[in-house]
Every structure is written in C-alpha cells, then in structure tokens.
Structure 1
Amino acid sequence: MAELLPPKLIATLFPHLPRDSHRSYRLALVLGTATIVVLAVFRLFPVALIAAALLLPLLVALYLVDVNVYGDEPVWALSLTMGWGAVAGVGFGLLALAVAPTAASVIVNGTSQYLLVQGLVLPFCGFFVLLLGPLVLLRYQHFNAVLDGVTFGASTGAAFSGAQAITYSAHLLGAGPRPGGAVLPWVWRLLSLGLGMPIVTMGAAAAACAALWLRYRAPARDAQALGALGHPAVALPLAGLLVAGAAVGETFLSAGGWLAWLVAFDVVAISLLAQTIHVGLLEEAAATDPGGPSLGSAPEGPS
C-alpha cells in the first residue's frame, strides 16, 4: 500500500530521511489518509477533520525527532518553526472567520469580495507571516545549510496549515459527532485540508526558505546555483502566489474540483522544492569535499 505514493513526495518533503525509512513514512501517510476516509464514511466528520489537520504535522514532528534536525537547540528552534506556525495558523484561522461574509452579504455584494479577501489576500499574507519564525533562525550560523532552510520552512508550513484548518472549522466541533452533509464532498474537503493544501504550503515555504538560506548562508560563489528561483526577490513572491493560487480554488470550485486543483499545485510545489533540495544535497557533498566543485560549476570533462 505504501507504493501508492510516489517516492519523490517523501524524499522531497523529508530530505534528511534515510532512504530505508522512506517506505515507513509512505505507509504512515497512506494509513493516515485511509483513516481520514474511513472516519468520513462513518460520518464522524469532526474527528476526521482533526485527524486530517494533524496528519502531516505529526509526521513532520516524527521526522524532526528521527533525524535530530535541531541538534542541541531543540526547544527554541522548534518554537520558532512548528510552534510559530501553529500560532500563526490559529491567528489567520480566526481572522478568516472574522472577515467571512454572511449569507446576506453574499446575496447583496456577490462573491467577488469573498474571492479576493478569503481566497487571495489572506493566504498570501498568511504565507509571509508564517515565514517570520524561520527567518529568526537565519541569523544563527549553527543552521547554515540550505537543507536547514528547507526543513524549517516545511515544518512551519505543516503546523500553520493544520492549526488554521482546525481553527477555521472549529464550529463543526460543536455540531455533534455526526453533523449533516453528504459523505463524498466531505471526503474531498478533508483530503484537501489534510494533504492538498498543506503540501502546497510546505513546499512553497520550504522553497522560499531555501532561497533565503542559499542567498545569505551559502558561500557567495554558490548564491546563483538556482538562478532567478534562488533569489529571494523572485522566490518569495512566487511562493506566496503559489499558496494563494492554491487556496483561491476553494472559493469557486466544488469540493472535488478544489482537490483536483490542489493536486496540480502540489505537483508544481514539489517540483520547485526538488530543485532546491538538489542544490542543498550538492552543498552538503561540497562541504564534505572542500576541494570539489561549487554548486553552480559544471562537472569536469574527461581528461
């Protein structure tokens, strides 16, 4: 069953994970997804919502412990990534509830304001707020590798998405264990909240942080290894637009349509992140072989 997920997904989201652990993580992700679907089939929608929101954050937390990413600084570094992501997610979840239009407002003013504010402005702004936590870690030389930036961005993005999903849907938790609604739209929406949107956010945040680390932490000769995509002035707005573009689909698509929309954005985010991880792996290889080529250099031809 673990083979149902492409290996590239796990390898990209968890770049420090040993190869022999990939199958276990794919299996955990598949079983978690199956659990969400089963809970929805039995109409336990609030429980399924919590499971969906916690799936990727818990997997990320397990990964951080497994590979000891934070080294000797686990508490404050975790607070600035997953802790900050959760706080920011709750804040933007509450903000989304506060600005959500009433039924009367939609009738009078249409859905254009909802599409603009809820679909574009809030996701775009929320993305840059979630980056503030990892940005604090940028100044510490202990975390000077591009893959550190990737991990910090991904973990913060996972916590942000989970906390925001629970906060924005908190009213469902008070509607009893089995609120109304057709099962299939619920399944699509739960998969969107638990996998589709978090993967976009994780990938975009990780790619944005990687660009920052590459620009300000990598040796100067390697700063151009990703070309324009490695420049923060390009990478950060692009990542923000990727998240906003993924989120806006919720405002005008059906539940199933939004999930399909998110899958397309997931592919783009993972592909973008894979390029930055390749550079990070080259950086690590160069660090172990100081005499080797720089990240942006071409390999030597045969003599």
Structure 2
Amino acid sequence: MTEDVGHARHQATMPCPACHHDVPAGRFCAHCGGQLSPAVGGGPTWLRVRHYAAAPGEHVLQPSIVSSVFPHLPQRSRGAFRLGLALVAVLLVSLSLTQWYIPMIAVAIFAPTVLVALYLHETGLLGDLPRWLWVLTAVLGLSVGIAWAVLTRSIVAESYSLGLGAEIPTLRLIGDAVVIPFGALLSIQIPAVIVRMMRPPVSETLHGFVIGLIGATMFTVATNVVRMVPQFGETSVAGDQPVPAMLLEAGVRGVAEPLTGLSLGGLVGAALWYQGRRRRNALLIGGLGLLIGSAAYASVGLAQAYRLPVSVQFLIHITFAAVAIVALRVGLQIMMLRENAEVYPELPILCPSCEHVVPDTRFCASCGVSCLAAPTTSRVARRRERPQPALEAVDR
C-alpha cells in the first residue's frame, strides 16, 4: 500500500486480489467491487455473495423485498418502505378476518402500484429518462394487461365457477391452470420488449429494470381490475367467503402475485438493457428467470386445479415469490458487478448508502455498493456539490 499525504489528490492505494488493479484503500475494490481482504468461505468472487451491490450489509441470497424490488432507494428511505409493506400486510389480514372482501381486493390490487409510484417519486427516477418513455411503458403495460384479461376472461370465469361446484373436465382444467399463468408470464414481458425494440436513450441495467418493473406493475393492475370489477356485484364475492379463502386470496393477490410478477419483469428488463461484459450471459439470466417463473406459475396453477389445502397453496405461492426475488437479486448482482459506469476516481463523492466520502468510482470503497444503484439525477447532484475538504482514504 502506498500513500502520499502531501498532495490532497493522492490517496492511499492497495492491489485488488481479484482484478489486480491498484485501487483506493478500503474494504472493497473501487474498480471491480471485490473484497480487498476476502473472508474465508465468502463464496465465488464473481458473485460476491455476502455483499449485495444495491444495499450495504445484505447477502445476495437474502430475500429482502425492499432492496430487491426498489434497488434505487437510498438507505434512509428503506425503513419507511418496510413500514409501508408491513402496513399493507396488516390491512390485508384485518380486512380478510372481518370479511370485507371488496376493500381487501382494492388494497391487494392497488397497493403495489402505489408503492411503485412512491418509489419513482422518492428516488427521482422520473428525471433520469424522458417522460414519454415512462408514459409509453405504463400505457403498454395497461394495454397488454387489459387485452390479456379480455382474451382469457371466459377461461378464468370457468375456473372460478369450479369453486362454486360446477363440473369442468379435469384435463381441460389442468391445461388451463398451466397455460393461462404461463401465458401471463410471457405477456407481462411484452411492454419491456416493445420499448427495447424502439431503442430509447437507456444505457443502464437498472433503468431497464425499472422499465420492466413499471410494465409488470401496470399489466398486473389492469388484469386484476378487468377480472374482478364485474364480480363485485355478485353475492358470492361480496363478503360471504370463508376467512381462510379470503386470507389466501389476500396473500396471493396482494403479496405473492405482485412480488413474482414484478421481480421477473424487472429481471427481464434489466437483461434486455445490460451493456456490460458478456452480454450473452445477461440474456441467459433473463431466460433462466423466465424458466423459474414458468415452473412457479405452473405449480401454482396445478395447486389451484387440484384444490390443495389453503395453507399448502399459500406456501407454494410464497415459496415461488421468494425464489423469484432471489433470482432477481442474483441477476442484478451479476450485471452490476460487470457493468461499466462513468467515473472520476481522482475526485471525492458522498456515498448515499453508507454516507462516507469516497472516490467517485464504480463501487464504494467503504460499503461496496455500485454507483449505478443511485439514480442518474442523484449522481449529477452529488458531483455538482462534491465534499470538501479533500478526500481521505476510507478506513479498512
């Protein structure tokens, strides 16, 4: 390690054991994101599994909802979003226990959309890209969702009537239970694919993630509204369902379904816009996410077709939602560790994750979070008002 105390722009440096560059001294390599002093049993260096690149101190395989679905959130805002998620869960359970079906469905359908809108506002992501791009993505998501719900309305209605005792051929029911969810999984990706084909001014993986997230959110809310609104006047769905059935629907529509759809939609969107090294690997990751989603949706459909116990159905839904979140985290981790970024390593900048003053590089030398985990507007603002006095090396 070398150090020149006499010049403010010179920093203490040390060699990185992973990429072999001389980088500013700290816990993490500012160039590749690897640990400068790797711990025993830390897993493969290409994944850096103990340190998620979008949240300091989190394991990559930790199914944290906030840092996975809302990766741009600054550290100070994540507690508020966790509280918001907890409030949604409490509302869903309370409304189910009191058998207030329509309010429960309203919360389940619109809460994810409200949280995504708050995420976009809190992070300032709407200022990163042209407004027409966000509007186009939302309109495409709504349009595809409405079209899908209308096309499959009769099949879904027959499946719903099964719960009321109607006779439906078993083979047909099983086929519908698998094909409809799988078709929805593919359809939910259409908005991001169409936007990508238009070659918009998007150059970062996480911007692609947000495009996929918005498309999936609008698709989900449109599909649920089209399917549920016509049923609100029926006595069978107006409050006379048993509490276990209402709890299952609340958990599926308000938690498991949006988490699975948004995670896979965001993962595919990120893969479509990845421009770093080995782009083919990113596309393979997106394809793997679709395979995981296919297995999840097929399993969920079969569980419903065979009318397994409510607790088993809920466990299947939640398990695959957690798998989708972990798949998203692994995919984003791989892409962020390999994506290029505009950097100014000789200048200081405030890290929004750990609030240390560190070199303006791809990764924070203190907490290891990628600079791309912050919105472009945040980076521009922090570079406009760089910390003073001169940068000091981060203590290891």
Establish whether TM, by shorter chain, passes 0.5.
yes
Per the TM alignment, residue 157 of structure 1 is displaced from its structure 2 partner at its CA by 1.7
Q: Is 1:111 aligned with 2:165?
A: no
Bigger mean CA offset, 127-136 vs 59-68:
127-136
Q: Which digits, 9 at most, give the CA deviation of each residue in 1:9-33, with x for residues without a partner?
A: 1100011111111111111111012
Tell me the distance in 2 between the aligned counterparts of 1:178 and 1:226.
46
Which residues in structure 2 correspond to 1:243-282 (within 5 Å)? Answer: 243-252=297-306, 253-282=308-337
Of 195, 213, 220, the match for 1:137: 195
Spell out, residue by residue over 1:165-186, the C-alpha distance to the aligned partner (whole angstroms, 9 max, x if none): 2322224311369431112220
2:210 matches 1:151? yes
Write the mapping of 1:1-303 to structure 2, written as runs, cut at 5 A. 8-71=64-127, 73=129, 75-100=131-156, 101=158, 107=167, 110-117=169-176, 119-138=177-196, 139-175=198-234, 178-214=238-274, 218-219=275-276, 221-224=277-280, 226=282, 228-229=284-285, 232=287, 234-252=288-306, 253-282=308-337, 286-289=340-343
Structure 2: which 5+ residue stretches go unaligned? Answer: 1-61, 346-360, 363-396
Structure 1 184/164 Cα, relative in aligned 2: closer, same or farther at 3 Å? same
Q: Secondary structure at the match of 2:318?
A: helix
Q: What's the CA shift for 1:238?
A: 4.6
Higher CA-based Rg? 2
Judging changes above 3 Å, is the alpha-carbon distance between structure 1 residues 148 and 196 closer, same or farther for their aligned structure 2 residues? same
Q: Give me the TM-score of the superposition, normalised by structure 1.
A: 0.80
Post-superposition CA distance 1:25-44 (Å, at most 9, x none): 11111101211222222221
Indicate if the aligned counterparts of 1:197 and 1:246 stay in contact, CA closer than 8 A.
no
Bigger relative contact order, structure 1 or 2 (CA pairs below 8 A, ≥6 apart): 2
Cα distance in structure 2, aligned partners of 1:240 and 1:122: 11
Q: Cα offset for 1:7? A: 7.5
- C-alpha distance in structure 2 between counterparts of 1:159 and 1:198, whole Å: 11
Q: Look up the SS of the partner of 1:262 in the other structure.
A: helix
1:225/1:279 contact within 8 Å kept: no
Taking only the aligned residue pairs, the percentage that are identical comes to: 21
Q: Given that residues 114 and 251 in structure 1 are in contact (C-alpha distance below 8 angstroms), is that contact kept between their aligned partners in structure 2?
A: yes
Structure with greater proportional helix content? 1
Separation in structure 2 between the aligned mates of residue 181 and residue 242 of structure 1, nearest angstrom: 26
Going by fraction, where is strand more abundant, 1 or 2? 2
Structure 1: tracts of 5 or more residues without a match: 1-5, 294-303
RMSD over equivalenced CA pairs, Å? 3.0
Whether the 8 Å contact between 2:209 and 2:267 is mirrored in structure 1 is yes
Once residues 98 and 257 of structure 1 are traced to their aligned partners in structure 2, the CA distance between those partners, rounded to angstroms, is 27
Instruction: Tell me the distance in 1 between the aligned counterparts of 2:271 and 2:304.
Output: 28
